[in-house]
Amino acid sequence: MYNVNIDLHFYPAIPLVPPTTEMIKWLIKILKGWLRRMEQKDRKFMAAYRIGEVANMLGMHPQTIRYYDKVGIVLPGEKNHKNERLYASYDVYMIMIRKQYQNMGFSIEETEKIFNENDIKDLAESLGNKIAENEKDLLKKQYCLEGMKQLKELVESIPVFYKRCFYRVRPPRWHHLHLREDILENTGNGTLARKIGMEAMPLCRHTLGIKQSDIETKEHPVSTYCDLTLEKRYAEFYGFDQISTSFFVEPQPCIYTIFKVDSYDSVKWSYLEYVEQFMTTNRLELNGDVQLVTIANTFEGANDERERYRYFEAWVPFKNKVQ
């Protein structure tokens, strides 16, 4: 308990009128300042540890302690005869509590505010906000882990699907143009899509497209555009679907296969000649643009003969050929 004795000669006269909100805040500020000075004054008798001792007992660098001192996390007591700052056991407690808030995701500035300004209501609100932030970060990590597992399974499935044809339904995805005719989409929305896409990787994929019209009319059709794509639930979480120029592509029955191209070669329809033969044999015809989703770049071969290749998933939409 403190023996309170405030000399009002040092403060402006307090008018004898009903206190306003501003006056109450002013009085609280004065009282807090006085209590902190009293706390520091009383604790000088307990301050017994030099900065190196505190750092060793906490397993921290002395510079970190000095920084906490500077920003007000700890209140050092008197200096000893060597002009060294001395710290009390209470300071060690405050540093450990700072670590508690750091573990919960609070910055130094946020912690200093909690220590010196927040009341119970403010603290509860701060904790609630930080819980929401941590839950979102945790979900991001969970989604990233899902993406890693999906990519691993995809890589491991290459021998199964390589140059073989399967019937599969292409999942619904949100798309945004990344480049067309090798020219990047240089707009604000294009930049935003790339920013969100990089944040969402490995869930976000580069998806090349070969137009159905090119396949039907050109002798050697190649991919002419590339979209960034995210499956529906991931796009909605990251806000990819909220970009005004994003567009949704519905699920569709496809011929599914995996193929590879030389790392520096254009992605041509001719790489999928075996798919075209499969469709002809089974009386199927193309029913939309062909989507080619990147898997990975890899090296193959031995020693000096190693070559780089790019692997792709191919989704070839089809319908039964009209008799």
Segment 272-317, tens digit of pLDDT: 999 999 999 999 999 999 999 999 998 887 777 788 899 999 999 9
CB 195 within 8 A of CB 189: no
User: Which residues neighbour 303 within 8 Å (Cβ) at sequence distance 6 or greater?
Assistant: none
Query: Which has more confidence, 263 or 33?
Result: 263
H helix or E strand, kind and range, residue 173: strand 173-180
pLDDT at residue 15 is higher than 90? no
Band of the pLDDT at 187, cuts 50, 70, 90?
A: very high
Report pLDDT for 9: 46
Band of the pLDDT at 184, cuts 50, 70, 90?
A: very high
What residue ranges define each of the domains in the chain, with the CATH number in brackets? 8-122 (1.10.1660.10), 157-320 (3.20.80.10)
pLDDT tens, residue by residue, 237-275: 999 999 999 999 999 999 999 999 988 889 999 999 999
CA end-to-end span of the chain: 97
Query: Which has more confidence, 5 or 102?
Result: 102
197-222 burial: b if 16+ Cβ within 10 Å, else e: beebebbbbbbbbbbbebbeeeeebb
Average pLDDT, the chain: 86
Query: Which has more confidence, 92 or 230?
Result: 230
Report the percent of the chain where pLDDT is more than 70: 85
Can you tell me the distance from the alpha carbon of 155 to that of 78, in angstroms, rounded to the nearest whole number? 64
pLDDT at residue 12 is higher than 80? no
